Amino acid sequence: METIIICVFVLGYLAITLEHTLKIDKLIPALVMMAISWALIALGIETFPKWFDSSNHALLESFGFLNHDEKMHLMEETLLHHLGKTAEILVFLLGAMTIVEIIDYFDGFATIKGYIKTKSKVKILWIFSFLAFILSAIIDNLTATIVLISILQKIVKDRNVRLWYAGLIVIAANAGGAWSPIGDVTTTMLWIGKKVTTGHLIGYLLLPSLVCMLIPSTIASFLPAFKGELDTDPKDVEKPKSRFSSTMLYLGLGAIVSVPIFKTITHLPPYVGMMLALGIVAVFAEIYSSTQFSLTEYPTDESDAHGHHSPVHRSLSRIEMPSILFFLGILLAVAALESLGILFGFATSLKEAMPMIGTEMPDTSVSDLVIVLLGIGSAVIDNVPLVAASLGMFSEGVDNTLWHFIAYSAGTGGSMLIIGSAAGVVAMGMEKIDFFWYLRKIAWLALLGFLAGTAVFFFTRTWF
């Protein structure tokens, strides 16, 4: 039964990558493979010898001794656990996307466009790369990607050029999230699990992560896509800017930045802070627009939306729901593999499959190779279960360099494929990025950055 479930996942994954060839939206195979995978688990629950306890990040050795009802109850609890964790991400995404849309409603991003005077493609590339690197460490790589691609859409009108910028933003955002305890979900796992501390995490990973961003951006600067200047759109010059443009921009971005602070103070999940941020931004949006908030009245004419309808409702109606459903499907499908212990076994087998290497190299070298492979593997499958598996594989103490290398590898390795990280999935949804286009154009840049950062990490751990 495990083989069948793996085949379902592979076929679903293949259908997602061939979205444009099959002319089937990627959310359809994602939802189908998720539903079929969990259905097969429910039907074959008696055939599985082990089960992965997600709440404790460990294999449940006694699963085979449970009776049918106990196994079904555990499966339902596990599914509910994964649904809850996925819902946290989706609600967080909904809040962040709505705030971005509210800012756009008041033409807030026109303020940023005013600050960016240059039309040079290379200079704009470096501006967005550094913004992604810094913002992702503060507000996490997922939110930073949403914000920056939203700004990018207002500045770069040529979609073919914008795809290149989006790809480099994904690389920079993942690199920036790796060195911050709140920048990436896997780094947060290690931080909460008391494997790393903030000071040592920044000390070990800031330079490698910076190199991981700098190398791809430097190489991209010489590519034809970033030669010359951006074309100007006369319509942008003629369009009047809202008098609340700057206010809503600073309010919206400030509200998003406050989410990690809220989490630190209250220890509540980030989505709670994001809902509070959305509520505050929505209040000011309603006041500034002088309209009455309603979730039941839909605008019949797009042209009069600004004049007669709530900005909050209009922003909610413009959210990319297919991307949200795709995220739901892909995360719960990966959760099915995780629950059966398949991903845990994959990670563990990497270490066990190298006995010959282990006889010729020190244990640290074997561990390094395993972690590099985990990073590359995180581009294909979700990095969260791989990091969870590493928590069970290794027993090193807090702030051991191994944990920092895991944080770097899992955080940046996902950039090699567009669906290898949360930031990539969001960018894929917002810009409709083709899987194979990213594989051809961006993956090699991400790989070079990953390897260069890895080499720098080996130096930093020897003298830090």
Q: What is the pLDDT of residues 68-96, one digit of tens each?
A: 888 898 889 889 988 988 888 788 878 88
Q: What is the pLDDT of residue 85?
A: 82
The answer as to whether 125 is a domain residue is: yes
Query: CB under 8 Å to 402, separation ≥6 — which residues?
Result: 364, 367, 371, 394, 396
What CA–CA distance (Å, rounded) separates 274 from 279?
9
- 51-53 vs 58-60, strand pairing mode: antiparallel
The answer as to whether 406 is a domain residue is: no
DSSP 417: S
Q: How many CA atoms lie within 13 A of 438 on its CB side?
A: 30
What does the mean pLDDT of the chain come to? 81
What CA–CA distance (Å, rounded) separates 359 from 261?
48
Query: In degrees rounded to 5, what are phi and psi of residue 118?
Result: -75, 150
C-alpha dihedral, 17 to 18 to 24 to 29, nearest 10°: -40
- Residue 262, token pair as written in the block: 């809220």
**Range of 57-71, 105-119, 204-218 with top mean pLDDT:** 204-218
- Residue 189, token pair as written in the block: 């796992």
CB 176 within 8 A of CB 449: no
Q: Which of 148, 150, 201, 202 is nearest to 171 (CA)?
A: 148
The answer as to whether 146 is a domain residue is: yes
Q: What is the pLDDT of residue 400?
A: 85
Q: What is the pLDDT of residue 352?
A: 63
pLDDT of 4 over the 80 cut: yes
pTM of structure: 0.74
pLDDT of 284 over the 50 cut: yes
The answer as to whether 236 is a domain residue is: yes
Over the stretch 21-42, which tens digit does the pLDDT of each residue have?
788 888 899 899 999 999 999 9
What CA–CA distance (Å, rounded) separates 128 from 112?
12
CB 182 within 8 A of CB 188: yes
Classified as helix, coil or strand, 341 is coil
What CA–CA distance (Å, rounded) separates 392 from 111?
48
The answer as to whether 174 is a domain residue is: yes
Could you list the residue range(s) of the whole structural domain that residue 101 is in? 86-321
What CA–CA distance (Å, rounded) separates 90 from 203?
32
Greater model confidence, 396 or 37: 37
The answer as to whether 457 is a domain residue is: no
**Range of 27-41, 59-73, 259-273 with top mean pLDDT:** 27-41
Q: What is the pLDDT of residue 292?
A: 44
pLDDT of 302 over the 50 cut: no
pLDDT of 451 over the 60 cut: yes
The answer as to whether 233 is a domain residue is: yes
pLDDT band at 235 (very low <50, low <70, confident <90, very high): low
Q: What is the pLDDT of residue 361?
A: 41
**Range of 194-203, 364-373, 375-384, 403-412 with top mean pLDDT:** 403-412
Q: What is the pLDDT of residue 355?
A: 47
The answer as to whether 8 is a domain residue is: no
Over the stretch 126-182, which tens digit does the pLDDT of each residue have?
999 999 999 888 877 887 888 889 888 888 888 889 999 999 999 999 999 999 887
Instruction: Find the angle CA(318)-CA(322)-CA(323) to the nearest 5 degrees.
Output: 90
Q: What is the pLDDT of residue 351?
A: 59
Greater model confidence, 385 or 375: 375
Query: How many distinct structural domains can be found in the chain?
Result: 1
